[in-house]
Amino acid sequence: MKIGKVERLVLLLLKQNSMSTNALSIILRAEGYVKTAPSVRRAVQTLRLKGLIDRSNKLTHDGMKYVKLMKDNVVNANTKELDAKIIDGLKLGMKEKVLLYILTKTDHAALQFLSAIMKEPVKNTSAVLNRLEDNGLVYGYRNMIAFTDSKGRRYRPKYYRITNTGKMFSSATRSEISKAIVMIDDTLEDTFKLKSEMANLGINDKKYS
């Protein structure tokens, strides 16, 4: 199987650390291996079609075997250096950093729950989460079970989880939101207590779980 130079670079990076397509683009552009982000996206798509990486950008069994046969080792950076390049390349605002922090404190969270904690309209919170998802820092999914709201309308709540890259970014930038963290922790503690009390009473609001 023959693959191009950019595809080989992507495989070598993913061998060291699983990361989003955007993170791959940041590193390869910072190192001068590629000039544009689309070339990296095309390389990732090619590797997926060839079965060398999966949709989460993790090496498949065939991908790991292929990397072992590769003789070039042009990318030689340790994990901390890679993380630093990703952080430098991602320019995120305060709301993005706060949402990432919240998601490090929960296994998963519904859009409505995050909106309530942020004290922002749902559409604003959704826009911020979309930016985070585009950068591979979180991923969203719909509940497979549909619920009915007070007006009789059916809906499937959207949930979000933080990725490994998102956890790394949140940890590295936590000092930048230290003041907000105190309030967030207090709010989360009160919320979790309320959820526990509701559960004891047999009340369970799926929308906010």
User: Of 98-102, 154-158, 184-188, 194-198, which has the strongest mean pLDDT?
Assistant: 98-102
Instruction: Give residue 35's pLDDT band: very low, low, confident or very high (50, 70, 90).
Output: confident
Can you read off the two tokens belonging to residue 5?
């130079």
Look at residue 208 and tell me whether its pLDDT is greater than 60: no
Mean pLDDT of the chain: 80
pLDDT in tens, 4-31: 888 988 898 888 777 788 878 877 877 7
Mean pLDDT confidence for 99-125:
90
Mean pLDDT confidence for 113-124:
91
pTM: 0.60
Of 159, 154, 114, whose CA–CA distance to 141 is shortest? Answer: 159
Q: What is the pLDDT of residue 202?
A: 58
Q: Which residue shows structure tokens 């989880």? A: 161
Q: What is the pLDDT of residue 200?
A: 56
Q: What is the pLDDT of residue 82?
A: 55
CA dihedral sign, ordered 166, 168, 172, 175? positive
Of 80, 82, 119, 84, whose CA–CA distance to 98 is shortest? Answer: 119
pLDDT in tens, 48-102: 999 999 988 889 999 999 988 876 555 555 555 555 656 666 678 899 999 999 9
For 188: left if phi > 0, alpha if psi spans -120 to 50, otherwise beta; the answer is alpha
Mean pLDDT confidence for 150-176:
83
Q: How far apart are CA 191 and CA 30, in angstroms?
A: 42
* Identity of the amino acid at 164: N
**The domain 94-208 is classified under which CATH number: 1.10.3720.10, 1.10.150.20, 1.10.10.10, 1.10.730.10?**
1.10.10.10
Q: What is the pLDDT of residue 198?
A: 47
Mean pLDDT confidence for 111-118:
90
Domains of the chain, residue spans: 5-89, 94-208
Look at residue 46 and tell me whether its pLDDT is greater than 50: yes
Mean pLDDT confidence for 120-128:
93
pLDDT in tens, 128-160: 999 888 877 888 888 777 777 777 888 788 899
